Amino acid sequence: MTVIHPVVMCGGSGTRLWPRSRKSQPKPFLPLVGESTLFEATLDRCADGDRFAPPVIVTGAGHRAHVETQSGAHSGTRVIVEPEAKNTAAAIALAAARLDPDAIMLVLPSDHHIADVPAFRAAAHTAANLAREGWLVAFGITPTEPETGFGYILRGAPLEGGFAVERFVEKPDLATAKGFLADGRYSWNGGIFVYRAGTFLDELARHRPALADAVREAVAKGREDGAAFHPDPAAFARIEGESVDYAVMEETDRAAMVPVAMGWSDIGNWQALRDAREGDAAGNRVRGNVELVDCRNVLAETDGPRISVIGLEDIAIVVDGNEVLVTTMAGAQKVGKLGGATNQ
Amino acid sequence: MTVIHPVVMCGGSGTRLWPRSRKSQPKPFLPLVGESTLFEATLDRCADGDRFAPPVIVTGAGHRAHVETQSGAHSGTRVIVEPEAKNTAAAIALAAARLDPDAIMLVLPSDHHIADVPAFRAAAHTAANLAREGWLVAFGITPTEPETGFGYILRGAPLEGGFAVERFVEKPDLATAKGFLADGRYSWNGGIFVYRAGTFLDELARHRPALADAVREAVAKGREDGAAFHPDPAAFARIEGESVDYAVMEETDRAAMVPVAMGWSDIGNWQALRDAREGDAAGNRVRGNVELVDCRNVLAETDGPRISVIGLEDIAIVVDGNEVLVTTMAGAQKVGKLGGATNQ
């Protein structure tokens, strides 16, 4: 069985779960769903020593202390500290360049929730087999709703355990998303990828030669520091940041997808977090000192002050430090644009 | 023109405006509508020296410091400190017994809001004329909604500027209240009364002789203390507390009412307070550090932490100290039953 190298990307803090998630307490490092943080759960999910190598974590200097504290249980963890954030293509390329060209890497966002771990692992190994044959594999997450906040993948010809990718599709409008759901051949693109490291770098060099060059130089001139690696800042600064979707996946003719239904959520806003948590009989999710009267499907959480709620449905109430957020679930998409979220 | 003696009753703290109103910061002494507190506004409303005598304030020891601080601007104010709360019949009787029998007294709750002060004053003087003729006069507030939280007054035969009372009616159900509104002869009983002091005491002695006796003795054995008067605790303790409505108004055959439309509110819950405050173009009322997005008719106020709200309508959000209240306007009636409100 192919050993898989988890590559966990710990990027920006995100503002959509403000005020719980903040610059000083970024989303991946918070225990949002269960008792583990999203980052810890991501590492635990691929911590089977027979099937997974120790993780490689790509992060920025700002998150490094969180990463080191929360990855302590996983021996052999290596950390790549980006001099600055340059989007996912560069982050993945750094990890690929630090691995053996034949290594199979599983690229994972650090802030997603996956309820069905066996399904996740099975998909990873199916994808690993395709990656070994030279495919650049995306997880294609079976959609459960006509979601307009995600990109979609249209599957093409069948492969062993998956499909060639016919086309990556930008975030659709609602009518289009409903069509995708009815069609059955569309999956969500959850930003989870499996590559042979050398193949990924070859494809990057073919489609984004300048980016690939800059990464190669940043790694060659980089500096080891215990378990951490620091790419050369000057070389890295030359990079024009681009997502791996644009830079590689939409360009290559070797894109494949493995369909998977694994209770996935990007915990992209308070509604998604509400849905990822287990509710009581009335669908309410509370944490901390909360009294609810005549409420349904309410998420209420507080780090101290008591919250008392009467008569509400489908709203989120979050008390954190000196901030109180009250939003409808429909309005949760706008949280990141609030004054408090943008001026942290 | 008859000089009127305002008698302001500062009773319990109330729990329906929790968490802003608390035992330690009772409703009458908070600036809930404008910049004055409800108590200050009550005094200011009858502070015309030609028409009104200095006020008599009936309160408990717990509220005395608030009363003295906030009545400082009104020279000649006298305070009666009840040894314990015994409902309105006893409180009014204490004030009546301390006034000249011929004095015309205007009994006022300390925690109501009245938008139209000239209308209030005109009604007071109309009622004073009836009181001088021996009537026990209630303000009959022209109803604007089929309110089920108030008692009603059914008017009878016309008098000069008012009507004899046909009947006092308990809080009705909604269908009955709608009928009252359509009928046109029903008014709200706002707990505002005008009496000749001696007539009130005579009627009390007739219908509640024990109560009248106990008050007489409590006053006779009472103790002066500067501008404050302390009724005798032992005599006062004998009183069986009863509302003036039951003890006198529903018993006497000399009950009258003066109809008045004066923008009255008892500020009886967060919905009433929302409605008493002036809103912005979207009907929102905010105090303190608040950001609203896509909100209508929301009341939001905070004594410190920022409140951010998205997409809500007709709710109240109140942050006070270590408490956060979020309620629909329909649910505002239940605030007093919350754990926080009952265990202060």
Of B324, B337, B338, the CB nearest to A305: B324
Three-class secondary structure assignment of B162-195: EEEEEEEECCCCHHHHHHHHHHCCEEEEEEEEEE
Q: What are the pLDDT digits (tens) for A28-70? A: 999 999 899 999 999 999 998 789 999 999 999 999 999 999 9
For residue B338, the chain A residue with the least C-alpha distance is: A308
B20 and B137 part of one domain: yes
Nearest to B288 by CA among B246, B319, B325, B322: B319
Q: How far is A315 from chain B (nearest CA, A)?
A: 9
- Are A196 and A298 in a shared domain? no
Check residue A118 and give its pLDDT.
96
CATH code, domain with A155 = 3.90.550.10
pLDDT band at A15 (very low <50, low <70, confident <90, very high): confident
Side-by-side strand order, sheet with B299-302: A290-293, A306-310, B323-328, B315-320, B299-302, B285-287
Nearest-by-CA chain B residue for A315: B312
In this predicted structure, the answer to whether residue B176 has a pLDDT above a threshold of 90 is yes
Per-residue pLDDT of A266-278, as tens digits, reads: 999 999 999 999 9
| Tens digits of residue pLDDT in A199-208 | 999 999 999 9
Would you give the end-to-end CA distance of chain A in angstroms? 47
The amino acid at residue B76 is G
How far is the alpha carbon of B327 from chain A, nearest alpha carbon, in Å?
Answer: 5
- B108 within 8 A of B8, measured Cβ to Cβ: yes
Peptide bond just before A19 cis, omega within 30 deg: yes
pLDDT beyond 90 at A13: no
What DSSP letter does each residue of B284-302 carry, written as one string?
-EEESSEEEES-BS-EEEE
Return the pLDDT at A344. Answer: 76
Distance from CA of B171 to the nearest CA of A (A): 24
pLDDT bracket for residue B13 (50, 70, 90):
low
Length of chain B: 344
Render pLDDT for A260-312 as a digit per residue (tens, 0 to 9).
999 999 999 999 999 999 999 999 999 999 999 999 999 999 999 999 999 99
Nearest residue to A125 via CA among A3, A265, A257: A3
Half-sphere exposure of B228 (CA within 13 A, CB side): 14
Share above pLDDT 70 across residues of chain B, in percent, rounded to a whole number: 99
- A129 shares a domain with A16: yes
Total number of domains in chain B: 2
pLDDT in tens, B251-272: 999 999 999 999 999 999 999 9
* Boundary (domain end) residue, out of A265, A284, A314: A265
**Cα nearest neighbour of A335 on chain B:** B310
Only one residue has tokens 């302001």, namely B8
| Mean pLDDT calculated for residue range B197-220 | 98
Cis peptide before B231 (omega within 30 of 0): no
Strands A323-328 and B306-310: parallel
- What is the mean pLDDT of the segment spanning A318-335? 96
CA distance, residue B145 to nearest chain A CA (Å): 22
Burial of B278 (0-12, 13-18, 19+ CB in 10 A): exposed
- To test the contact with chain B by mutation, choose from A269, A326, A329, A344 the residue with the greatest count of B C-beta atoms within 10 A, namely A326
Which residue is it, tokens 């710990």? A10
> Which DSSP symbol is given to A145?
S
Phi-psi region of A204 (alpha: psi -120 to 50; beta: other; left: phi over 0): alpha
Summarize the confidence of residues A165-173 as an average pLDDT: 96
Q: Report the alpha-carbon distance of residue B45 to residue B51 in Å, rounded.
A: 11
Residue A326 in contact with residue A315, Cβ under 8 Å? Answer: yes
Do A301 and A255 fall into the same domain?
no
Q: Say yes or no: B278 and B252 in one domain.
A: no
A324/B317 touch (CB, cutoff 8 Å), yes or no? yes
Backbone angles phi, psi at A323, to 5 degrees: -125, 140
CA A147, A153, A154, A160: dihedral to nearest 10 degrees?
-130
CB contact under 8 A, A326 and B325: no
**A193 with A338, same domain?**
no
Rounded to the nearest 10 degrees, the angle between the axes of helix A117-132 and helix A38-45 is: 60
Give the pTM.
0.90
Alpha carbon B312 to chain centroid, angstroms = 32
**The residue to which tokens 């979050």 are assigned:** A318
Q: For B96-123, what is the mean pLDDT? A: 97
Confidence of residue B185 (pLDDT cuts 50, 70, 90): very high
Query: Of B240, B265, B290, which one is at a domain's C-terminal end?
Result: B265
- Per DSSP, the three-state class of B140 is strand
A291's CB contacts (< 8 A; 6+ apart) are A306, A307, A308, A309, B338, B339, B340
Q: What is the pLDDT of residue B253?
A: 96
pLDDT tens digits, one per residue of A111-158: 999 999 999 999 999 999 999 999 999 999 999 999 999 999 999 999
Q: Please name which of A205, A200, A202, A208 lies closest in space to residue A136, comparing C-alpha atoms.
A: A200
**pLDDT of A12 above 80:** no
Residues from A in contact with B at Cβ < 8 Å: 19, 291, 293-294, 302, 304-312, 315, 317, 319, 321-328, 330-332, 334-335, 337-340
Structural domain boundaries, residue B307: 270-342
Identify which of A302, A306, A312 has the shortest CB distance to residue B328: A312
The three-class DSSP label of residue A274 is helix
Residue B214's pLDDT is 98
Residues B332 and B299 in one domain: yes
Q: In the predicted model, is pLDDT for residue A332 greater than 80?
A: yes
Region B106-125 average pLDDT? 97
Residue of chain B nearest A289, judged by CA positions: B323
Do A201 and A315 have their domain in common? no
Quick one: average pLDDT of B204-224? Answer: 98
How many residue pairs from chains A and B have C-beta atoms closer than 8 A?
Answer: 116
Site from B15, B18, B324 to mutate, A interface, most A CB atoms within 10 angstroms: B324
Residue B46 has pLDDT above 90, yes or no: yes
Can you say how many angstroms the Cα of residue A232 is from the centroid of all Cα atoms in its chain? 25
Q: Are residues A196 and A226 in the same domain?
A: yes
Please determine, for residue B74, whether its predicted confidence score (pLDDT) is greater than 90: no
Residues of chain B with pLDDT > 90, as a percent, come to 92
Same domain, A216 and A255: yes
Write the secondary structure of B4-18 as one string of H (helix), E (strand) and C (coil): EEEEEEECCCCCCCC
Pair B33, B138 in one domain: yes
Q: Are A259 and A187 contacting, i.e. CB atoms less than 8 angstroms apart?
A: yes
Give the per-residue pLDDT at B256. 98
pLDDT of res. B285: 98
Domain termination residue (choose one: B247, B265, B283): B265
Residue B67, pLDDT above cutoff 70: yes
ipTM value for the complex: 0.90
Amino acid at B246: Y
Tokens, residue B235: 């005599």
On whether the CB atoms of residues A127 and A229 are closer than 8 A, the answer is no
Please tell me the predicted confidence (pLDDT) of residue A343.
83
Confidence of residue A2 (pLDDT cuts 50, 70, 90): confident
Residues A283 and A260 in one domain: no
